[in-house]
């Protein structure tokens, strides 16, 4: 038996695993030992073997998808993730090149369970981190305490940096802490719970806010507990309000019904928060829950939430920007002019619209009045961040073989604001959220072409991009 000691990070495991592979050490011959940060890697396997004995690293080609999956799984807290990853790596490089497609394989099933748990934890952190305001060196600083189930702090940090870009903040956790000074993310060691700030002004504010946005008509105790497990309640200031809010719910519903919708909308402050998606594998349940979403102010001027549509196990998912005027009125995505053009292009690319899942990054129509018309407005990064949990939930349920981002809003929601569709369109890409992604222009861009020649050329290019996605989905 070989003992391989390594720091429990993906990078460190990767070095050790590559070396073990080069030396043809079978998975059942290895005992993986995680080193603490203070332990010297005395038995680090990579130092034990001379370089010359090894096969060249290039011999061990694995699908990119495996790398993305392995990186994610390495964040799991279970120590068995390391031998699992090595077994997968071994099998992929020893003849089982299609292993990742065999979902019934016990190692793959285990890997997917780990992946799911991590994605859920990432989502929980996004939904349940609550900042409290403190004074720090004469500046306002916002501090949150969170106890993630897995090692997801670094993975999640850029989400918080995007969402709370203008604040200075720290998120403290027992494993790792992350800090944002409005420019740079830094990471420090974890802290004991006692160092998290006590109740303060920010907490009071949050409680008031939560009481204001609490919609008694939507209270379902079981759903609420499933979404907000008791484990998280102790860190959520609003949790102390839940029993009394539930108690007052029937009366509050009656009062609400007496008020006009417009007045209720005015009474709420302009607040954005991540949409609270229920934990479910049912699209119908998700769609129902999204109907009452008030996570950002867009619901006030929209007719309804326009949720995604299509078969639950569609191989292809299409992600647009946000519903337009006709979609807002009908409640269905992509049925207006852009939708009709999309339908035509799908057909020309050999894709049946009824077999694909179509949704939007933002699920309410954002518009401003111009005369009698409602003019489309681009969603802000806050609108997108607030709505994101719905799209993530759709992705987790549908698990498409390929995600097609239509236009820059969708593509940037996946790859960040520096992503350029014009540069990357038609390429098969990987992302944290979806293993295979193709980006292309939004069909409405085709409608805006200046002349017939440009329209024909751009349409053909669009159909060609859809063809790339179709072939990837069929692979």
Q: Which residues bind ligand URA (CB under 6 A)?
A: 320-324, 327, 333-334, 336, 338-339, 360, 444
Residue 63 contacts by C-beta under 8 Å, 6 or more apart in sequence? 92, 97, 100
Residue nearer to ligand URA on the CB measure, 8 or 323: 323
Nearest residue (CB) to ligand URA, 197 versus 308: 308
User: Which CB sits closer to ligand URA, 336 or 400?
Assistant: 336
Looking at beta carbons only, is 366 or 382 nearer to ligand URA? Answer: 366
d(CA 338, CA 6): 53
First-to-last C-alpha distance (Å) of the chain = 39
Q: Kindly report the three-state secondary structure assignment for every residue of 4-61.
A: EEECCCHHHHHHHHHHHHHCCCCHHHEEEEECCCCCCCCCCHHHCCCHHHCCCHHHCC
Q: Which of 358, 318, 323 is nearest to 466 (CA)?
A: 318
Exposed e or buried b per residue across 241-258, where buried means at least 16 C-beta atoms within 10 angstroms of its C-beta: bbeebeeebeebeeeeee
- Residue 277 vs 444, nearer CB to ligand URA: 444
Minimum distance from residue 344 beta carbon to ligand URA (Å):
14
CB of 18 to ligand URA, least distance (A): 43
To ligand URA, the closest distance from the beta carbon of 306 in angstroms equals 6
Alpha carbons within 13 angstroms on the beta-carbon side of residue 114 total 25
Burial class (CB in 10 A: 0-12, 13-18, 19+), 80: exposed
Task: Kindly state the tokens that stand for 88.
Answer: 């997968």
Residue 120 vs 376, nearer CB to ligand URA: 376
What minimum distance in Å lies between the beta carbon of 270 and ligand URA?
24
Segment (H or E) for 389: helix 381-398
152 versus 411: smaller Cβ distance to ligand URA: 411
Taking the least distance from each CB to ligand URA, the nearer of 237 and 336 is 336
- Tokens, residue 130: 């609550």
Q: Give me the least distance between CB of 83 and ligand URA, in Å please.
A: 44
In the complex, residue closest to ligand URA by CB: 320
Q: Give least dist CB 12 to ligand URA, A.
A: 42
**Between vectors from CA 287 to CA 353 and to CA 431, what angle results, nearest 5°?**
65
- Minimal distance, residue 391 CB to ligand URA, in Å: 12
Q: Least separation, in Å, of the C-beta of 347 and ligand URA?
A: 18
Distance of CA 342 to the CA centre of its chain: 25
Yes or no: say if 319 and 391 are a contact pair by the CB < 8 Å rule: yes
Strands 176-180 and 185-189: antiparallel
Least distance between ligand URA and beta carbon 327 (Å): 4
Report the b/e string of 43-57 with b at 16+ CB within 10 A. Answer: ebbbeeeeeeebeee
Nearer to ligand URA, 173 or 444 (CB): 444
């Amino acid at each position: 038996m070989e003992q391989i000691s390594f720091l429990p990070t993906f990078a460190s495991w990767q070095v050790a695993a590559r070396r073990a592979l080069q030396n043809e050490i079978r998975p059942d011959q290895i005992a993986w030992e995680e080193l603490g940060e203070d332990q010297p890697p005395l038995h680090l396997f990579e130092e034990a073997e001379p370089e010359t004995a090894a096969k060249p690293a290039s011999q061990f080609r694995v699908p990119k998808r495996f790398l993305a999956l392995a990186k994610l799984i390495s964040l799991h807290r279970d120590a068995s993730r390391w031998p699992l990853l090595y077994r997968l790596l071994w099998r992929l490089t020893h003849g089982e090149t299609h292993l990742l497609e065999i979902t019934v394989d016990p190692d793959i099933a285990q890997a997917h369970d780990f992946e799911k748990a991590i994605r859920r934890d990432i989502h929980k952190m996004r939904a349940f981190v609550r900042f409290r305001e403190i004074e720090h060196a004469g500046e306002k600083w916002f501090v949150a305490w969170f106890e993630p189930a897995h090692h997801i702090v670094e993975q999640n940090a850029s989400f918080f940096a995007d969402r709370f870009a203008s604040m200075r903040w720290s998120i403290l956790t027992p494993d790792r802490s992350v800090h944002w000074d409005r420019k740079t993310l830094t990471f420090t060691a974890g802290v004991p719970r006692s160092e998290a700030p006590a109740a303060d002004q920010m907490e009071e504010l949050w409680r008031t806010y939560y009481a204001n946005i609490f919609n008694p008509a939507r209270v379902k105790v079981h759903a609420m507990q499933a979404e907000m497990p008791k484990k998280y309640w102790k860190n959520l200031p609003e949790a102390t309000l839940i029993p009394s809010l539930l108690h007052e719910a029937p009366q509050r519903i009656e009062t609400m019904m007496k008020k006009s919708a417009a007045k209720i909308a005015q009474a709420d402050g302009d607040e954005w928060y991540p949409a609270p998606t229920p934990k479910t594998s049912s699209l119908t349940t998700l769609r129902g829950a999204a109907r009452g979403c008030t996570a950002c102010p867009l619901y006030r001027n929209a007719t309804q939430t326009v949720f995604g549509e299509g078969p639950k196990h569609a191989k292809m998912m299409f992600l647009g920007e946000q519903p337009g005027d006709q979609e807002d009125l009908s409640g269905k995505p992509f049925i207006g002019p852009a939708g009709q053009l999309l339908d035509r292009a799908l057909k020309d690319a050999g894709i049946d619209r009824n077999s694909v899942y179509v949704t939007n990054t933002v699920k309410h129509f954002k518009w401003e009045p111009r005369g009698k018309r409602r003019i489309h407005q681009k969603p802000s990064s806050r609108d997108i961040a607030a709505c994101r949990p719905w799209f993530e939930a759709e992705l987790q349920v549908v698990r498409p073989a390929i995600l097609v981002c239509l236009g820059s809003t969708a593509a940037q929601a996946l790859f960040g604001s520096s992503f350029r569709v014009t540069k990357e369109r038609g390429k098969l890409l990987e992302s944290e959220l979806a293993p295979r992604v193709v980006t292309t222009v939004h069909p409405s861009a085709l409608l805006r072409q200046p002349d017939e020649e440009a329209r024909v050329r751009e349409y053909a290019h669009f159909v060609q991009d859809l063809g790339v996605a179709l072939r990837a989905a069929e692979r």
